[in-house]
């Protein structure tokens, strides 16, 4: 049993962490904190937890968290983690941070997108928590920068094909679509039911903060600079993210070769499901799960590959992958706490 | 381990049975049948099950089912179960039927709502599977008539108060609201996305088939004829059912007395959650769970009690309660297979 | 042509007023105000208006409004109108107020629900703008208190039957269901897409502010005190409201007599559509329109009448009825500006 | 006044035709036909029309239609129009066909996607009804092949830029997203509320029938073969379509030049709204309208243009554009019958 704590437990990703860790057979959730709901039972914020989870949200205190937990999840807006995580690590804690603060290794790149980083040393030691790809590095690190939801859905289908030299990295376009929970629980007008319902829209085209995060990882995997065109969209649904990625094939290949390449790369990774030829994913098939479903189609007339990947933005795109990373760090079965049978609908 | 089978595994309730029983620690799901999808993997019908459940739907055969399972769930349209269940029972099997065929003990009442019953003897032996209320009878029966979704949401809040003599049984009105999955997976125009979305409507007011089912149980509990006014409505959501019930109080009482009465009645029953005063349930708090949340408010100016109950129509209203009944029949912990931590949203 | 102005044009009801009045053949929309968006084009708040309506929201000023408009719509939170409307009336303007401030004639009743009223004289002169019922009084008044959305849907089916002495006024229960736009455009957590979607819930059971408003009108029409039990619910849809009302019949009557009574009462009123026997309304059939559809069913076993009424909460429940009242005040055809052909879906 | 008829009036596009034409100030809707609902009032199929439209659906008869209408809309599955439209034209009627049967001028291309064409002569005379682009040809034709919804949303942003030689036609990718009404009113499982809700998915990637239709038009405009990569997706909403199109710029240009090019091209066309820099469209802003909103963003790091276009798939994508074409054919104001003020939400 590992004692775990969650700092920032009442946002949507935090609440998912509560759900998964509370039900995790090898984790003992000892402390949860919330600035906004300190002193209140988490079940008063999310009544689904009534009679199930009787924990009370605490005001954040570095001492309390470090005393009660050995591994800490931070689910906070960026900029705050870089201020508190160093202290945790100094206390010998292992940390999985769900913000952007430890996703970059290069302070300049972080600064260009966010602000100057105040903990550069730790940033450089952090491992990017894309579980399937950085499995070995995650096992031994003390600090994981958990990937953004968009990067997770973009990178998983692309990396195997880039490593195999199959696609032209100068031609990559990812057109992503996210459910509204991606915008978090803050009450802003754009997230209101009446504004989001019957509304499908693009936003931050070619200027989303997750774009440099993807470029960083893809460049590293390709061994040369990769800049993809990335456009996120908002879908009238609560959970789910689907990304359609386009790239030119370097040679003539057929769909089965692409699918084989993906299947081989992920053959020991339980949470990537490669779709059979002729089939592409839907968000409802991964809702509430830690799966990433990937399908592929080739547009023969343009020799262009079309990749479709689906995740639950709050699970594989946030809390689920974070727990998967914990499992890896603790050398436990990767699927622990994440293996409940999916809902059929 | 008990070997279980599902006859009719690809409707919405059947698929939920597959989900729950496949994950049940003490059940071994050995056979699933489907007329429409015989020969196909259940994961081709519900791709969420990909890589998780590798079972193939079989054509129904009484012999195959009886050979491979000790306890059988039938999730079929009414009229079919009364033709096949007797043979199963004759083979020493225990059966939980999710249709209406074994919910009535009186053939005349069944006939008035459906058609003549062809297995009257068995019908009379069947126990009505409202788990919390008929717990003791369920333990020993071989045949359970699993309640309808509407009756479950109507009966659970009412029965304790009727038994306590608190409400005037001549004044009961239940106004129920169901998600679209209640209409099943058959492709009819009224269940299309474009017809159900932005559409809230009443249907079968005072003429729904579940109305006599409720009256039968309530009359039995009250020891006198009870006829409630029942109006179902359709809500633009997938899962969930909420019932608002109105009844005159026989004496002046306050909300806490009502809530106490409910809490006492259900104190050993883990799946009924009584809301604290001032709070009433929402379907999203029970989505995907086997809970029935119940709240109460008194309209003082009319001395009228308002009860609000929420369930997931496919879980507590169908497959979940069926598995709960199996647990009871097998003298196992009632919550086995049904105790995953609920999703916060 | 009448010059009209809207004070509070960027809330949901205000924006609907903009839509309807801008398209009204006999109204000239000369001024719109908005505290939050002063100085901005209304089409920047609601981009659907791009290239159609080029008006800019102004900061509210009593002088500007009175100079530019002869008839003024106030779509503001209660308490503000009672402070500014008297000045408008003093300037010879006619006012239609969409808040609660001029819905009551009795200051004590208003005070009990809201706060002390600061303009009691005007309040007593105001006419309750339930267009079909108070048609004659509306024609001649200078100040209309436009009804709440819930009262509109509750009162229209009930008043003809109460006046005809058909129902027992001690037994009335109205179970109402509203789309999320009823909560307005303020960014609160309960109105977020992720909180409202897949969520059906009751709220303010027997304690909603519209309940006394209904009682006031019903008592007046019945000639004796009427207190109904009223429970509002929230539906995961943008627009629409459906109310199911229950009441004991005083005599044995059949559905056609009820429907006849309603049809006779509303025979000259174009916006009430009485459903044929066997049919009840759905919100999608009135979406975007000023119609109130009414259906009736009798629960014979309890001699209880079930009335179902549907409106669009933002149109007949707010802006549409307000414009209908303007038409009546100006002795124009009641349907002007409100007669576009409804969308089929 | 022109006498118009609709053949196939009860599908979603047909019903929108009924709505628009019934409210059209210069059209007299004299006959509507429906195979499925012959003999029934259209208001029994779409109760929103109750008390507004009292027309009864008739069984299709070429004689009756030709006798009662001068201009005929056919809203039928492809293959049927090519059998009945020639007879109408022979009778001197002008026809606007909403199927694919008259969208191609080349029989071989039609055959490759659908089946052999049985009316090749007429096919060659037909004009492709993309109103803004083929305005002049539409004025004088007797037979319009009304564009598909996807092609409309893809072609409108692309054509001006292709004609201006701004983009590399070998690099075009269109990623389209459609509401569920695009699938029509036939009851198939994929269109059920429970299957479409919380489900975002791609389908027919690089193999949709609208893809050759787009290629045909783009090749014609470019004066050389153009094959775009096209992937359609299904969005959990009723109405609306948004297309994100990607293409390499041939030179360095900035967003304002792109927007200027679009604005100039459409300066006399009221239904194309070009978004200001920094703003991209949402489907909710065009819901129920005949507008096509277009926005543009440049991904500087890749010198790639991103175009976003939004339409209502049933209006500009079908019935609205058909009526716009009628207006053009009759040399009336293009906006007649299509100019109601849009709903703010």
List pLDDT tens digits, range C22-74: 999 999 999 999 999 999 999 999 999 999 999 999 999 999 999 999 999 99
Using a CB-CB cut-off of 8 Å, the residues of chain D touching C288 are 288, 343
Mean pLDDT throughout C303-317?
Answer: 98
Of these residues, A57, A149, A275, A292, which one is catalytic?
A: A149
Identify which of D175, D231, D235 has the shortest CB distance to residue A235. D235
CATH of A2-125, one of 3.90.380.10, 3.30.1330.10, 3.40.50.720, 3.40.50.620: 3.40.50.720
C24 to chain D, any CB pair closer than 8 A? The answer is no
Banded pLDDT at B208 (limits 50, 70, 90): very high
Per-residue model confidence (pLDDT) at position D325: 98
CATH 3.30.360.10 domain range(s) in chain A: 149-312
Using a CB-CB cut-off of 8 Å, the residues of chain C touching B301 are 206, 227
Q: How far is D51 from chain C (nearest CA, A)?
A: 7
Using a CB-CB cut-off of 8 Å, the residues of chain A touching D236 are 235-237
Q: Determine the residue of chain A that is closest to B237 in CA distance.
A: A237
Banded pLDDT at D312 (limits 50, 70, 90): very high
Under 8 Å CB pairs connecting chains A and C tally to 55
Using a CB-CB cut-off of 8 Å, the residues of chain D touching A203 are 280
Using a CB-CB cut-off of 8 Å, the residues of chain D touching C273 are 50-51
CB contact (8 A) between residue D244 and residue A202: yes
Class of domain A149-312: alpha beta
Q: How far is D193 from chain B (nearest CA, A)?
A: 4
CB contact (8 A) between residue A341 and residue B51: no
Interface probe for B, chosen from C193, C201, C302 (most Cβ of B below 10 Å), is: C201
Report the neighbours of D using a cutoff of 3 or more CB pairs below 8 angstroms.
Answer: A, B, C
Q: How far is D228 from chain B (nearest CA, A)?
A: 30
Q: How many CB atoms lie within 10 A of CB D292?
A: 30
Task: Give the integer Cα–Cα distance in Å for D108 and D102.
Answer: 13
Beta strands across the sheet bearing C304-311 = C201-202, C229-234, C173-178, C241-248, C304-311, C292-299, C272-274
CB contact (8 A) between residue A206 and residue D287: no
CB contact (8 A) between residue B49 and residue A287: no
CB contact (8 A) between residue D246 and residue A298: no
User: Which residues, at least 6 apart from A281, have a Cβ–Cβ distance to it below 8 Å?
Assistant: A242, A275, A293, A294, A295, A308, A309, A310, B47, D201, D202
Using a CB-CB cut-off of 8 Å, the residues of chain C touching B231 are 244, 297, 306
Q: How far is B283 from chain C (nearest CA, A)?
A: 5
Residue D151: closest CA among D176, D114, D126:
D176
Find residues 214-273 of chain C whose CB sits inside 8 Å of chain B: 227-229, 231, 233, 235-240, 242, 244, 246
Using a CB-CB cut-off of 8 Å, the residues of chain C touching D342 are 19, 48-49, 52
Identify which of D181, D270, D344 has the shortest CB distance to residue C19. D344
Q: What is the pLDDT of residues D34-87, one digit of tens each?
A: 999 999 999 999 999 999 999 999 999 999 999 999 999 999 999 999 999 999
Using a CB-CB cut-off of 8 Å, the residues of chain D touching C284 are 48
Q: What is the pLDDT of residues C239-265, one digit of tens each?
A: 999 999 999 999 999 999 999 999 999
What ranges in B114-166 are assigned the alpha helix state H? Answer: 120-125, 135-140, 149-163
Mean pLDDT throughout B305-329?
Answer: 98
CB contact (8 A) between residue A246 and residue D246: yes
Question: C-alpha distances in angstroms, B338 versus A285, B20, B263, B289, B326?
Answer: 21, 7, 21, 7, 12
Find residues 182-221 of chain A whose CB sits inside 8 Å of chain D: 194-195, 197-203, 205-207
Residues of chain A with pLDDT under 50: none
Per-residue model confidence (pLDDT) at position A11: 98
Under 8 Å CB pairs connecting chains A and D tally to 158
Per-residue model confidence (pLDDT) at position D53: 98
CB contact (8 A) between residue B193 and residue D236: yes
Task: Give the integer Cα–Cα distance in Å for A3 and A28.
Answer: 5
Using a CB-CB cut-off of 8 Å, the residues of chain A touching D179 are 198, 200
Decide the pairing of beta strands A2-7 and A27-33.
Answer: parallel
Instruction: Determine whether A149 is an active site residue.
Output: yes
Per-residue model confidence (pLDDT) at position A287: 98
Task: Give the integer Cα–Cα distance in Å for D86 and D78.
Answer: 14
Q: Determine the residue of chain B that is closest to D184 in CA distance.
A: B194
Q: Provide the strand spans (E) within C211-321.
A: 229-234, 241-248, 272-274, 292-299, 304-311
Question: C-alpha distances in angstroms, A128 versus A77, A193, D30?
Answer: 18, 34, 67
Per-residue model confidence (pLDDT) at position C345: 95
Using a CB-CB cut-off of 8 Å, the residues of chain D touching C345 are 12, 15, 46, 48, 181, 238-239
Report the neighbours of C using a cutoff of 3 or more CB pairs below 8 angstroms.
Answer: A, B, D
Of these residues, D57, D66, D149, D261, which one is catalytic?
A: D149
Banded pLDDT at B246 (limits 50, 70, 90): very high
Report the neighbours of A using a cutoff of 3 or more CB pairs below 8 angstroms.
Answer: B, C, D
Task: Give the integer Cα–Cα distance in Å for B49 and B26.
Answer: 20
Q: How many CB atoms lie within 10 A of CB C266?
A: 20
Identify which of C229, C233, C308 has the shortest CB distance to residue B299. C229
Find residues 50-89 of chain C whose CB sits inside 8 Å of chain D: 50-53
Residue B12: closest CA among B137, B124, B115, B149:
B149
Per-residue model confidence (pLDDT) at position B63: 97
The phi, psi pair for C15, rounded to 5°, reads -65, -35
User: Which residues, at least 6 apart from B339, have a Cβ–Cβ distance to it below 8 Å?
Assistant: none
Mean pLDDT throughout B267-272?
Answer: 98
User: Which residues, at least 6 apart from C43, have a Cβ–Cβ distance to it below 8 Å?
Assistant: C49, C50, C51, C52, C53, C54
Decide the pairing of beta strands A201-202 and A173-178.
Answer: unpaired
Interface probe for D, chosen from A172, A203, A233 (most Cβ of D below 10 Å), is: A233
Of these residues, C149, C261, C275, C292, which one is catalytic?
A: C149
Q: What is the pLDDT of residues A199-236, one digit of tens each?
A: 999 999 999 999 999 999 999 999 999 999 999 999 99
Using a CB-CB cut-off of 8 Å, the residues of chain D touching A302 are 170, 227-229
Q: How far is A197 from chain C (nearest CA, A)?
A: 7
Interface probe for A, chosen from C192, C201, C203, C284 (most Cβ of A below 10 Å), is: C192
Find residues 277-306 of chain C whose CB sits inside 8 Å of chain B: 280-284, 287, 295, 297-302, 304, 306
Decide the pairing of beta strands C272-274 and C241-248.
Answer: unpaired
CATH 3.40.50.720 domain range(s) in chain C: 2-125
CB contact (8 A) between residue A282 and residue D177: no
Residue B254: closest CA among B298, B215, B193:
B298
ipTM of the complex: 0.97
Q: What is the pLDDT of residues C183-220, one digit of tens each?
A: 999 999 999 999 999 999 999 999 999 999 999 999 99
Q: How far is A320 from chain B (nearest CA, A)?
A: 12
Using a CB-CB cut-off of 8 Å, the residues of chain A touching B12 are 344-345
Structure tokens, D12: 């979603």
Task: Give the CA dihedral B31, B35, B38, B40, nearest 10 degrees.
Answer: -100
Banded pLDDT at C21 (limits 50, 70, 90): very high
Q: What is the pLDDT of residues C261-274, one digit of tens each?
A: 999 999 999 999 99
Q: Determine the residue of chain A that is closest to C189 in CA distance.
A: A187
Residue A254: closest CA among A272, A278, A274, A273:
A278
CATH 3.30.360.10 domain range(s) in chain D: 149-313
CATH superfamily of C149-313: Dihydrodipicolinate Reductase; domain 2 (3.30.360.10)
Mean pLDDT throughout D179-201?
Answer: 96
Q: Determine the residue of chain B that is closest to A338 in CA distance.
A: B340
């Amino acid at each position: 049993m590992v004692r775990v704590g969650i700092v920032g437990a009442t946002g949507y990703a935090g609440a998912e962490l509560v759900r998964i860790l509370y039900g995790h057979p090898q984790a003992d959730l000892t402390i949860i904190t919330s600035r906004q709901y300190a002193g209140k039972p988490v079940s008063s914020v999310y009544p689904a937890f009534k009679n199930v989870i009787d924990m009370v949200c605490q005001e954040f205190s570095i001492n309390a968290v470090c005393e009660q937990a050995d591994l800490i999840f931070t689910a906070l807006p960026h900029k705050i983690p870089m201020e508190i995580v160093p202290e945790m690590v100094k206390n010998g804690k292992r940390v999985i941070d769900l913000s952007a603060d430890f996703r970059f290794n290069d302070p300049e790149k972080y600064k260009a997108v966010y602000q100057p980083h105040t903990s550069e040393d730790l940033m450089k030691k952090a491992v990017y928590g894309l579980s399937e790809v950085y499995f070995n590095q995650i096992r031994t690190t003390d600090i994981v920068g958990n990937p953004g939801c968009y990067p997770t859905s973009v990178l998983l289908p692309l990396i195997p094909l880039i490593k195999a030299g199959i696609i032209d990295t100068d031609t990559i376009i990812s057109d992503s679509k996210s459910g509204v929970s991606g915008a978090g629980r803050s009450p802003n007008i754009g997230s209101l039911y009446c504004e989001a319902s019957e509304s499908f829209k693009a936003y931050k085209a070619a200027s989303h903060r997750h774009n440099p995060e993807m470029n960083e990882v893809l460049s590293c995997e390709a061994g040369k600079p990769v800049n993809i065109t990335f456009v996120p969209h908002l879908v009238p649904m609560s959970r789910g993210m689907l990304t359609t990625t386009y790239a030119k094939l370097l040679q003539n290949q057929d769909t089965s070769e692409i699918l084989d390449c993906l299947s081989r790369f992920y053959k020991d990774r339980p949470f990537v499901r490669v779709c059979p030829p002729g089939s592409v994913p839907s968000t409802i098939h991964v809702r509430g799960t830690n799966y990433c479903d990937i399908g592929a189609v080739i547009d023969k007339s343009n020799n262009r590959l079309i990749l479709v990947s689906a995740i639950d933005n709050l699970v594989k795109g946030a809390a689920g992958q974070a727990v998967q990373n914990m499992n890896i760090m603790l050398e436990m079965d990767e699927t622990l706490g994440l293996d409940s049978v999916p809902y059929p609908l």
